[in-house]
Structure 1
Amino acid sequence: MTIGLQRLSATSGTALSGTDAGEAAVRAPRVGNRTLFGGLALLTAVIVLLDMGSGDELRIVPLMVVVPALVSVFGTIRQTVGVASWVMLVAVASRLVSGGTFWDITSSVVFTVLACFLGVGACALRIRHAIEIARLRSAAVALQRQILRPLPIVTDQVVAHGTYAPIEEDRLVGGDIYEAVSSPYGTRVIIGDVQGKGLAAIGAGFAVLGAFREAAIREPTLTGVVDALEDAVARHNAFSAQTGEIERFVTALVLGFDGDGRVQAVNCGHLPPRLLHDNVAGPVPLRRTSVPLGMAELSSEARVTEWLDFPTGATLLMFTDGVTEARDLAGTFYPLDTRLGRWAHLAPRELLDALHRDLEEFSGGVRRDDIAVLAVRRTPSGSPSRPEPSGYGARRAAEAFSGR
């Protein structure tokens, strides 16, 4: 499931208030009482008539004990209790009317009551579990808000649209990271992929993002920013080793936009971006790819800056390997460059929507890795400076810069 980050709560307080909304949604009835109990009355009439027609050899009314169990799957506790009470009344009355020995009647009544209570208990457990999941999701939204900001992000130099989709639908945070920071030296943008999955990978990603947000403003050079990221990963790995966690590396592409027609880039083992301009899409050649963050000790070469052409009206597409390593049912990898050639004329948001739909169709909905995609376009010259937006307001604030 793709999670567009612009749909996330704009603040942690909003996420927490979403807990109450989630619990209310869980407790709300999925089927109206009139529909439910009207259907129950009709079912009772049919079963009673069949029971009367079958004679004493085949009793059908006791089969109604499964109804509370069925209602417990989708109904509220109150609805399940109401259905269970009705079933007990009908089943016990039917058993008393049909007669029999004391023990036959007693065992039938006890079985009916026990089955109805189990149905009510199952409903209570289901709702309790659903509420716990809603609370966990709300906490994940708050965590997501602290790690990855909602998109789009607007600065004086660029507009960054994006899509983020973790490998697990119920987990909002994965190992892919991104950020765009406005600094005195222009806009700095990063997209990266942390080795591995789980909370440990999230911790490494958070360390990189925290260092990037500070270094992007503090460091005058892009290589200085990357050096700060390398130190952050090294410190994180040292701490992880003390706690028994494995060391991790992070592939990253760091870009710097200063307002002219070119872009600075430092590639730390990441996939090269694609440039879409004049209805043509193609990979951007990066000739000085260095080792991923956290592995500088294994290389004797210092990281260097490259310059890329980025004309006005062009879109620079940055992504993680969840896109290029997506496969169809036959195991064929996703042909990204071929697909981008069809969409080179699209605006960033339309491009991302088309890419997401095509990925889902190509892979049959089977996601093998997290997916993060940024579509960056220059802010039109002469546009007024605007603060970096967030939440739903971000989408509205960026409409003027969408390039459509």
Structure 2
Amino acid sequence: MVTRQGLSNRALALWLLGVTALVLYLGEFTGTSIRMVGLLAFLPALAAAFCTVPQTAFTACWTLVTVAAALFGYNPRELGDSLLMIGLTAAIGGLSVTGSWYRIRREEELLRLRSTATAMQQRILRPLPQRTADLLAEGVYEPVQEDKLVGGDIYDVAASAHGTRVLIGDVQGKGLAAIGVAFAVIGAFREAAHREPTLAGVAEALEAAVVRHNAYAAELGESERFATALVLGFDGTDTAEVVGCGHEAPYLLRPERAPLAVPLAEPGLPLGLGELADGPRPVGRFGFPPDATLVLCTDGLTEARSADGTFFPLAERLAAARGLQPGRLADHLLAQAQAYTAGRQQDDIAILTIRRP
């Protein structure tokens, strides 16, 4: 595959020789040598799309010399027409070199921006696995890697005096604006997880953080954003708590049983839209026995599509993976989704697996 570093010099030389020989041969064979030579003028434009600046400049020089030699060799008496064609070839070559320089500069800028944004996001996401007295959290995070840099998938685990609190969420949109909301949500979670005695209080703190961030964004003329999230609480017993904020329900896996979507008290509105609700978000409770594994994910997994547009069958793939070691489950699901979409990942994917230690 051609990268921004360009073709190898050997490949470029072979390409130029091959195309030049083919054009000259076709010109001789068809008796239209003068017109066929004019096609060589566009070689630098093709090189500008794939090659480095020096390689594009070399192609432009090669083309200029070849066109000039061919024109004076085929029709030395038509000096005016030959000079016009040579001038046109030189102009295309110069524009091609400029275009190659601009393309490479833009690719380098995008690479630097993407690296910076990815580093920022990695600084706010704790590395996995995370172990507390109540649970072991493992998983994967796979950014989509597109021109909008990075997405807004977030997760965190906090061991507090009130038990272990877990967050997974997805900020609307991508890019640096989404990272700003992600900072606000995770910062609020890391504080509220230790401060708030109830899980409902943690969720309300996250809601307030997004509302404040949107207020600042509005002052700057930026669009408001919301975030879907699940907030879960574990205290080491066979029961766990969950507050839904418009996010996908988690799945509970147990040996010899079908995957079970955890019933939420209600799906709830995304963070940032809480004022539209009739009251505070309710807290749901579900059984979490020692042999269970809880699977949390973002919509990059559930909304992954195959070539014919069908969604990734998460429940079906979870059922097929029941015999897999919990530590390998997240990597297995990511590989399954990538194979299902034939490598055409449409969104960031975050997958967490939670089990009792």
Structure 1: 5+ residue runs without aligned partners? 1-24, 380-404
Letter in 2 for 1:86: W
Deviates further, 91-100 or 179-188 = 179-188
C-alpha distance 364-34 of structure 1, shift in aligned 2 (>3 A) = closer
Corresponding position: 1:356 with 2:334: yes
Letter in 1 for 2:47: V
* C-alpha contact (below 8 Å) 2:149/2:175 kept by paired residues: no
C-alpha distance 44-287 of structure 1, shift in aligned 2 (>3 A) = closer
Pairing partner for 1:312 from 290, 314, 326: 290
Structure 1 length normalisation: TM-score? 0.73
C-alpha distance 170-313 of structure 1, shift in aligned 2 (>3 A) = farther
Corresponding position: 1:148 with 2:125: yes
Corresponding position: 1:284 with 2:262: yes
- Paired position in structure 2 for 1:396: none
* C-alpha contact (below 8 Å) 1:158/1:377 kept by paired residues: yes
Structure 1 residues 74-99: Cα deviation after superposition (integer angstroms, max 9, x where no partner): 11111122222222222212222331
Q: After TM superposition, give the deviation of residue 51 of structure 1 in Å.
A: 4.6
Match runs of 1:5-404 below 5 Å? 26=4, 28=5, 30-51=6-27, 58-98=34-74, 99-165=76-142, 169-195=146-172, 200-244=177-221, 248-280=225-257, 281-287=259-265, 291-299=269-277, 301-303=279-281, 305-326=283-304, 333-348=311-326, 350-360=328-338, 371-379=349-357
C-alpha distance 196-115 of structure 1, shift in aligned 2 (>3 A) = closer
Q: 1 CA distance for matches of 2:47 and 2:231?
A: 54
Structure 1 residues 248-298: Cα deviation after superposition (integer angstroms, max 9, x where no partner): 544322122334444333333433211112143212233366554445545
C-alpha distance 369-46 of structure 1, shift in aligned 2 (>3 A) = closer
Q: After TM superposition, give the deviation of residue 124 of structure 1 in Å.
A: 1.6
C-alpha distance 240-78 of structure 1, shift in aligned 2 (>3 A) = closer
Q: What SS does structure 2 have at the residue aligned with 1:74? A: coil
C-alpha distance 92-176 of structure 1, shift in aligned 2 (>3 A) = same
Q: 1 CA distance for matches of 2:24 and 2:37?
A: 6
* C-alpha contact (below 8 Å) 2:144/2:150 kept by paired residues: no
Q: 2 CA distance for matches of 1:49 and 1:289?
A: 70
* C-alpha contact (below 8 Å) 2:110/2:147 kept by paired residues: no
Q: After TM superposition, give the deviation of residue 202 of structure 1 in Å.
A: 3.9
* C-alpha contact (below 8 Å) 1:144/1:172 kept by paired residues: no
Q: After TM superposition, give the deviation of residue 196 of structure 1 in Å.
A: 5.7
* C-alpha contact (below 8 Å) 1:223/1:305 kept by paired residues: yes
Q: 2 CA distance for matches of 1:186 and 1:371?
A: 27
Q: What SS does structure 2 have at the residue aligned with 1:170? A: coil
Q: After TM superposition, give the deviation of residue 37 of structure 1 in Å.
A: 1.4
Q: After TM superposition, give the deviation of residue 70 of structure 1 in Å.
A: 1.9
Q: 1 CA distance for matches of 2:167 and 2:275?
A: 22
Deviates further, 214-223 or 118-127 = 214-223
Q: 1 CA distance for matches of 2:82 and 2:223?
A: 65
* C-alpha contact (below 8 Å) 2:305/2:341 kept by paired residues: yes
C-alpha distance 245-344 of structure 1, shift in aligned 2 (>3 A) = same
Q: 2 CA distance for matches of 1:100 and 1:86?
A: 23
- Paired position in structure 2 for 1:383: none
C-alpha distance 139-87 of structure 1, shift in aligned 2 (>3 A) = same
Q: 1 CA distance for matches of 2:31 and 2:275?
A: 86
Letter in 1 for 2:234: F
Structure 2: 5+ residue runs without aligned partners? none
Q: 2 CA distance for matches of 1:153 and 1:361?
A: 28
Q: 2 CA distance for matches of 1:84 and 1:65?
A: 8
Q: After TM superposition, give the deviation of residue 211 of structure 1 in Å.
A: 0.4
Two-structure CA RMSD over aligned residues (Å)? 3.4
Q: What SS does structure 2 have at the residue aligned with 1:233? A: helix
Q: 2 CA distance for matches of 1:332 and 1:33?
A: 44
Q: 2 CA distance for matches of 1:181 and 1:198?
A: 26
* C-alpha contact (below 8 Å) 1:190/1:254 kept by paired residues: yes
Q: After TM superposition, give the deviation of residue 126 of structure 1 in Å.
A: 1.7
Q: What SS does structure 1 have at the residue aligned with 2:290? A: coil
Q: 1 CA distance for matches of 2:104 and 2:66?
A: 27
